[in-house]
Amino acid sequence: MELPVQFAELMKNLLGNEYEDYLASYANPRLYGLRVNTNKISCEEFEKISPFHLKKIPWIPNGYYYGEEESPAKHPYYFAGLYYLQEPSAMTPASLLPIEEGDRVLDLCAAPGGKSTELGAKLKGTGVLVANDISVSRAKGLLKNIELFGISNSLIVSETPEKLEQYFTGYFDKILIDAPCSGEGMFRKDPAMIKSWIEKGPEFYAEIQKGIILSAARMLKPGGMMLFSTCTFSPVENEGTIAYLLENCSGFSIMELPQYEGFSHGLGGGEFEKCVRIWPHKAQGEGHFIALLKKAEDDGVTASHIRENRDDKVLYTETKPAKNKKDRPDKNQKKRGRSVSVEEDPDSGLRELENFIADAGINREGRILKVHEGNAYLVPEGTEGIRGFRFLRTGLFLGELKKNRFEPSQALAMSFMKEGYPNTVNLPVSDQRVIRYLKGETIELEDITDQKASGWRLVCVDGYPLGWGKLTSCSLKNKYYPGWRWQI
């Protein structure tokens, strides 16, 4: 691989006598990683059913290497959201951010969801995950991955960090910033990054990162934790950005991270040693930088910042944002249409929706049912009043109300756990009808004797949900979301 001359010089200075080992690592075969969605299946269970040759990634509890010749993206278990395919060192940031159930979590630069899917899995349906990316087109890919993973307590947003900050000051328990960077650790996986490096270079991204990290710092609760990561090697983008944060926000400190075999310390000595660097010539990964930061309980800044916002614009209060925002004029309300509650519109299929929720045993605890322009959602409590952002999704999209009917959504199908829905058509992975279903075909079920009553069925592979079908006379009309169909 031909590396830019200037990059090669920088790396020689950085690595000294390790430079040759680093260069030699480009000749090694590329590494492929698979991370199990522990929200849907345990690692033990996955190891039992996996058709792939898996080898544990030593530092990721639910991460595995798989062989280059295998195609896990072309397997029904992928369509069941049982795993995410991700370069092994890129699994590290979400794995090292200590998420606790009930946390409010922000993934600030989230698309296409490699980290968000793990953060959401760790929350196990509790708390809230706000997954944001400035790029709307990339955020659409993020939305698909979040829904495929069955994560139902998330808001998918496409905003600048500065805009988010106006509402979310001091709001989050945990924040992950997987920052835009010059991608020096991606050169082997994606040689197009070399061209981008030549055009822009580390300084360009360092400037962007400075803005992002300060915004994130303001959105963190006192006592909260924030993890900053990149897939690049340049110190100006890594330790440099952390130094900038520490200079500008006095309440922050760098936290110790576990030093697994093959991990290296951050550069620059002192506190920076607590950061982790993954080098491709020392670990079985392409390369990453990770820093975990803690905000002091009393940082002397956040509290007054929240007060400023409250006094000034009443943008956010800690306990019940919805209540305080109720009376604010909502400029976008007309464009978006009116949200109605179940009681207000009994004829629009809402009764069928309520029956569906009751029959399916959907847990509404901590979530609020909202219907908006014929679409029904379960929105995490406390976020229902947030307005004015470019949302791609607010909570779990349940489905559409059509005249007197309710049509359940693909996202709802994916949110069920194994055996979590009463009316299923469960096919073994070896059954040809699994692929035919994923291709959008009608499938016949004469041989499955318990499929007599007509109505909605959750189609599953080995018990894991894939999507909906509607049964009449042993024939299952395909309701799999057309945009997700098997194209292979």
- Residues in contact with 23: Cβ distance below 8 Å, sequence separation at least 6, in sequence order: none
Q: With binding defined as CB under 6 A, does residue 202 bind ligand SAM?
A: no
Least separation in angstroms between residue 113's CB and ligand SAM is 5
Looking at residues 153 to 182 of the shown chain, list those that interact with ligand SAM (rule: CB under 6 A).
160-161, 178, 180
Tell me whether residue 178 or residue 462 sits nearer to ligand SAM (CB atom).
178
Please identify which residue in 81, 114, 251, 280 interacts with ligand SAM, judged by CB under 6 A.
114
Please identify which residue in 11, 91, 96, 110 interacts with ligand SAM, judged by CB under 6 A.
110
Which of 43, 181, 231, 275 is the catalytic position?
231
* Dist. CA 402–CA 412, nearest whole Å: 17
**Cβ contacts of 440-448, under 8 Å, gap ≥ 24:** 440/478, 440/480, 440/482, 440/485, 441/478, 442/475, 442/476, 442/477, 442/478, 443/469, 443/475, 443/476, 443/478, 444/474, 444/475, 444/476, 445/471, 445/474, 445/475, 445/476, 446/474, 448/474
Q: With binding defined as CB under 6 A, does residue 398 bind ligand SAM?
A: no
275 belongs to the catalytic site: no
Least separation in angstroms between residue 391's CB and ligand SAM is 15
Please identify which residue in 133, 173, 384, 407 interacts with ligand SAM, judged by CB under 6 A.
133
Candidates 19-27, 108-116, 401-409, 421-429 — which segment interacts with ligand SAM by CB under 6 A?
108-116
* Dist. CA 364–CA 178, nearest whole Å: 32
Angle between helices 116-123 and 136-148 (to 10 degrees): 40
- Residues in contact with 97: Cβ distance below 8 Å, sequence separation at least 6, in sequence order: 119, 174, 176, 225, 227, 292
Least separation in angstroms between residue 335's CB and ligand SAM is 24
Least separation in angstroms between residue 329's CB and ligand SAM is 27
Q: With binding defined as CB under 6 A, does residue 287 bind ligand SAM?
A: no
Whether the Cβ atoms of residue 461 and residue 443 lie closer than 8 Å to each other: no
Q: With binding defined as CB under 6 A, does residue 461 bind ligand SAM?
A: no
Least separation in angstroms between residue 163's CB and ligand SAM is 10
Measured CA distances, 413 to 226, 298, 421, 457 (Å)? 32, 43, 9, 10
Please identify which residue in 124, 138, 305, 310 interacts with ligand SAM, judged by CB under 6 A.
138
Tell me whether residue 132 or residue 478 sits nearer to ligand SAM (CB atom).
132
Please identify which residue in 31, 34, 131, 134 interacts with ligand SAM, judged by CB under 6 A.
134
Cα 27–Cα 32–Cα 38 angle in degrees, nearest 5? 155
Please identify which residue in 36, 82, 105, 108 interacts with ligand SAM, judged by CB under 6 A.
108
Q: Among 436, 473, 440, which Cα is nearest to 454's?
A: 473
Q: Which residues are catalytic?
A: 231
The binding site for ligand SAM (CB under 6 A) comprises 108-115, 133-135, 138, 160-161, 178, 180, 208, 212
